[in-house]
Amino acid sequence: MAGKKTLQKMIELYKIKTGKQEMDPADIADFALRNGVTLPEPVDPKKQLIKQISDAAREVVRTDRDTGRPYRAYHSVPVQQGQQMSFFWVDIEDATRQQMVRSSNRRREHVVGELTQHTFDLDHWAAINPDEEPITLEKDFTLDVEIRKATDGEDEVA
């Protein structure tokens, strides 16, 4: 089974060999297989089921009976188990304040990480394209959130 670094090198090699700028992962997989990468071992069925359960829990949405707005039913809560961090799911109807704070902090850290990386990406693009107008990233989403709440997500882009 190929590790991430091998696959990243394969992506670069594919780009060089084909000259393509928009790359289909399925085409890259075929290229990788032709160039010595072996298929990964099948996933442990129980691990796969655990992931499927987490994916399913993440997608359960209920509707607030007073506001008519959707809310996520289950929230992932980080839990330290010995030396390892695990994640449990808690139904929002049963969640304590502390559980919701931990879940919220985790989600916020994820958003901050994504925004930081997005900023690095745009800074790099601007540096290598000095004749183009830099792309600015508005990081205050207060108005965006208020608009979405007011329009019930009518204009939401998937």
Q: What is the pLDDT of residues 97-146, one digit of tens each?
A: 999 999 999 999 999 999 999 999 999 999 999 999 999 999 999 999 99
Joined tokens for residue 86: 């695990």
Joined tokens for residue 99: 């559980």
Question: How large is the angle between the packed helices 25-34 and 4-18, nearest 10 degrees?
Answer: 100
DSSP 43: P
Encode pLDDT of 79-104 as tens digits: 888 888 889 999 999 999 999 999 99
Joined tokens for residue 135: 């792309």
Q: How confident is the model at residue 153 (pLDDT cuts 50, 70, 90)?
A: low
Model confidence pTM above 0.85? no
Q: What angle do CA 45, 47, 52 make, to 5 degrees?
A: 90
Q: Residue 63 phi/psi, 5° resolution? A: -115, 130
Encode pLDDT of 15-62 as tens digits: 999 999 889 999 999 999 999 999 988 889 999 999 999 999 999 999
Q: Name 72's Cβ contacts closer than 8 Å, sequence gap at least 6.
A: 58, 60, 61, 92
Distances (CA, A) of 102 to 82, 87, 109: 18, 11, 11
The pLDDT value recorded for residue 86 is 87
Joined tokens for residue 133: 């107008």
pLDDT at position 157 over 60: no
**Cα(25)–Cα(47) distance, integer angstroms:** 24
